[in-house]
Amino acid sequence: MALNLIMLGPPGAGKGTQAERFARENGIPKISTGDILREAFRAGTPLGLQAKAIMDRGELVSDDVMIGIVRERIDRADCIPGFILDGFPRTVAQAAALDAIMSGRDALTVVDIVVPEVELVRRLASRLICGSCGLNAEGNGAVSGTCQRCGGELKQRVDDSEGVVLERLKVYHRNTEPLIEYYRARPTFRSIDGTQPPDRVAAALAAAVRSVANQGSAA
């Protein structure tokens, strides 16, 4: 059975960090629309420049662009054992499109990382990101100012400035929070506490995924 996982949660909840760790430990690809778009930014493609301008304003890239990117990625051979989606879906329309893409495949496990808004604002205002590879910096890496993965320079994301952070959270509440209600009734949906230290969040994520798998085995 393929391990198909969606990570949900607001900006600053730690989705990217946890998704990368889970993917590495379970041998499945992490599919991040942010990573794909950053590649387009660096290449200077028309789509990349257009998407960068939208994201720098704290807004969301259009559904049709995101759906097309994800469909192509999921169809690759390395996703046969499963995958983890980070940053998609972000709207109910994207979720419905993903359900159509997943028709005939193993079910999606959906995990929501819950973090209070006051903590999100604090995290985002102090977050650093590698200007070369896009890695979010944590711990000693953030203190040193150098990326632990590629050695690049760390800097604040344009969309982590205070005004844009507040706009991003407004966009999340308006467009993305309804996803929780879209998925909540499914037996494969779980919520975990994202205010814990990263190792405990990782353990909670692994336990949530196991509980869904055990539930499927029992059925």
d(CA 153, CA 165): 22
pLDDT in tens, 82-126: 999 998 898 899 999 999 999 999 999 999 999 988 888 887 777
- Determine the pLDDT at residue 197: 93
Which alpha helices (DSSP H) does 116-197 contain, by range?
117-126, 139-144, 162-171, 178-184
Domain boundaries along the sequence of the chain: 3-115+175-218
What average pLDDT does the chain have?
A: 84
130-172 pLDDT per residue, tens: 888 877 765 434 445 788 788 888 876 655 566 777 788 888 8
Architecture per CATH, domain 3-115+175-218, reads as 3-Layer(aba) Sandwich (3.40)
Active site positions, annotated: 15, 90, 127, 157, 168
Phi, psi of 136 (to 5 degrees): -75, 130
Question: Which of 213, 180, 183, 214 minimizes the C-alpha distance to 13?
Answer: 180
What average pLDDT does range 66-75 have in this prediction? Answer: 81
